C-alpha cells in the first residue's frame, strides 16, 4: 500500500461518542476515509491483517459492547455526505454519509413524495438504506432505484434495484453503500410538508425521540406489536442499572445517564424471557449488536 493512511486512522476511539445510546467501548481502529481510494486502501490493509471490518453510520441502531470491538470501525467521511437533486426531474443521488432527515426535508420542499413518512428516523442515508428504515408510513428502500456498493475486497460496483432485496428492517446490501440513486413521485410541497409534520408529531407523542436509545429494541413479530406485548407485561419504567424501558414506548430502551451495554443486554434478556413465557413469542432484535462475540 503506498497511501499514508495514518491521518484517517485513530486507535482506541471510544465508540460511546458515536452512538445515539452513548454506550460502547473503544474501537481498536477507527477509520474515516475521505475518498473511495482511501476506503479501498483501508479495506485492503485490514483484510491483509485479518482484521474484522464494521461500518458505522450515525450509530442510531447499535448497541456496542462495553469492552469495545476489535478490528476496524469505518465511518465514511464528510466527502460521502452529499445530496443532489436533478433540477426539473424526480431524481436524486445521495451519498451514504448524508443524514436521512436532510434528504427527507429537501425532497418534501421540492414537492417530491416518497420519503416524507420516514421523518423522525435519525442517522445516515447509508444506515437507513442498509436497514431499510421506516415504518407504517413507508420505507427508505421504496425510493432507491440503484446503488453503488463497495465490496469488502475494495471493488465498487453499481447494483440495480432488482438485484437488491429490501424487507422488514433489512436489505441484501452486501458491502459498503457509497451512494444511491432515488426516484420520487411528484407531489405537492405544501401537502407533503403537512403530512411530514403530522408523522413527526405522531412520533413525538408516542416515542422518546430525544432520549439516548437505539430506537425500537425488537422487531414486531408477524401480525403483532412488540411494544404492545412488552407494555402488557407492565415493563414501562422497569430498569436495570441505567437502562430503562421507556415510559413513553415499551419497545424503546433508554439510557437514563449511566447505562452500560451490559445493563441494556440484561434488560433485553429479561424482556425476551418474559414475552416467551407469557405469549410464547420469540422477539428478534431490531437493534444490532457489536462486540458481543
CB neighbours of 92 closer than 8 A, spacing ≥ 6? Answer: 83, 84, 85, 86, 103, 106, 107, 112, 181, 182, 184
Q: How far is the CB of 97 from ligand FAD (least distance, A)?
A: 7
Exactly one of 16, 56, 83, 245 binds ligand FAD (CB under 6 A); which one?
56
Q: How far is the CB of 192 from ligand FAD (least distance, A)?
A: 18
Exactly one of 24, 25, 26, 57 binds ligand FAD (CB under 6 A); which one?
57
Identify any residues that bridge with 53 across adjacent strands, giving them in sequence order: 72
User: Dihedral, CA atoms, 6, 7, 9, 10, nearest 10 degrees?
Assistant: 100
Q: Does 46 bind ligand FAD (CB under 6 A)?
A: no
- Site stretch for ligand FAD (CB under 6 A), options 8-16, 48-56, 224-232, 261-269: 48-56
CA 198 to centroid of chain Cα atoms:
23
Nearer to ligand FAD, 235 or 290 (CB): 290
Q: How far is the CB of 223 from ligand FAD (least distance, A)?
A: 18
With contacts defined by CB under 6 A, how many residues of the chain interact with ligand FAD?
Answer: 33
Q: How far is the CB of 274 from ligand FAD (least distance, A)?
A: 23
Nearer to ligand FAD, 22 or 274 (CB): 22
Q: Which of residues 213-242 bind ligand FAD (CB under 6 A)?
A: 213-215
- Give me the residue label for grid cell 424501558: 245
246-259 burial code (b ≥16 CB/10 A, e <16): beebbbbbbbeeeb
Residue 118's closest CA among 190, 23, 64, 184? Answer: 184
Over the window 102 to 121, marking each residue x when it contacts ligand FAD by CB under 6 A and - when it does not, the resulting string is ------------------xx
Q: Does 73 bind ligand FAD (CB under 6 A)?
A: no
Q: Does 135 bind ligand FAD (CB under 6 A)?
A: yes
**Gap between the terminal Cα atoms of the chain:** 30
97-132 burial code (b ≥16 CB/10 A, e <16): bbbbbebbbbbbebbbbbbbbbbbbbbbbbbbbbbb
CB neighbours of 162 closer than 8 A, spacing ≥ 6? Answer: none
Exactly one of 31, 43, 63, 176 binds ligand FAD (CB under 6 A); which one?
176
* Residues within the interface to ligand FAD (CB under 6 A): 20, 54-62, 96, 120-124, 126-128, 130-131, 133-135, 169, 173, 176-177, 209, 213-215, 288
Amino acid at each position: 500500500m503506498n497511501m499514508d493512511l495514518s491521518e484517517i486512522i485513530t486507535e482506541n476511539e471510544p465508540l460511546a461518542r458515536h452512538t445515539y445510546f452513548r454506550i460502547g467501548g473503544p474501537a481498536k481502529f477507527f477509520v474515516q476515509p475521505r475518498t473511495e481510494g482511501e476506503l479501498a486502501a483501508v479495506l485492503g490493509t485490514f483484510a491483509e491483517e485479518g482484521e474484522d471490518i464494521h461500518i458505522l453510520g450515525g450509530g442510531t441502531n447499535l448497541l456496542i459492547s462495553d469492552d469495545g470491538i476489535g478490528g476496524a470501525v469505518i465511518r465514511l467521511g464528510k466527502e460521502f455526505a452529499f445530496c443532489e437533486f436533478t433540477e426539473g426531474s424526480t431524481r436524486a443521488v445521495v451519498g451514504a454519509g448524508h443524514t436521512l432527515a436532510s434528504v427527507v426535508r429537501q425532497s418534501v420542499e421540492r414537492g417530491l413524495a416518497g420519503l416524507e413518512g420516514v421523518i423522525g428516523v435519525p442517522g445516515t442515508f447509508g444506515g437507513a438504506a442498509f436497514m431499510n428504515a421506516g415504518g407504517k408510513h413507508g420505507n427508505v428502500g421504496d425510493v432507491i432505484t440503484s446503488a453503488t456498493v463497495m465490496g469488502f475486497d475494495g471493488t465498487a460496483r453499481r447494483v440495480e434495484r432488482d438485484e437488491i432485496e429490501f424487507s422488514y428492517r433489512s436489505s441484501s446490501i452486501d458491502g459498503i453503500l457509497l451512494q444511491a440513486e432515488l426516484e420520487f413521485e411528484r407531489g405537492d410541497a405544501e401537502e407533503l410538508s403537512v403530512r411530514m409534520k403530522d408523522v413527526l408529531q405522531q412520533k413525538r407523542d408516542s416515542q422518546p425521540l430525544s432520549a439516548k436509545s437505539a430506537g425500537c429494541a425488537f422487531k414486531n413479530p408477524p401480525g403483532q406489536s412488540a411494544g404492545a406485548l412488552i407494555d402488557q407485561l407492565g415493563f414501562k419504567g422497569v430498569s436495570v442499572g441505567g437502562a430503562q424501558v421507556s415510559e413513553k414506548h415499551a419497545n424503546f430502551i433508554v439510557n437514563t445517564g449511566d447505562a452500560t451495554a451490559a445493563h441494556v443486554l440484561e434488560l433485553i434478556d429479561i424482556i425476551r424471557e418474559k414475552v416467551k413465557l407469557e405469549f410464547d413469542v420469540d422477539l428478534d432484535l431490531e437493534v444490532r449488536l457489536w462486540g458481543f462475540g
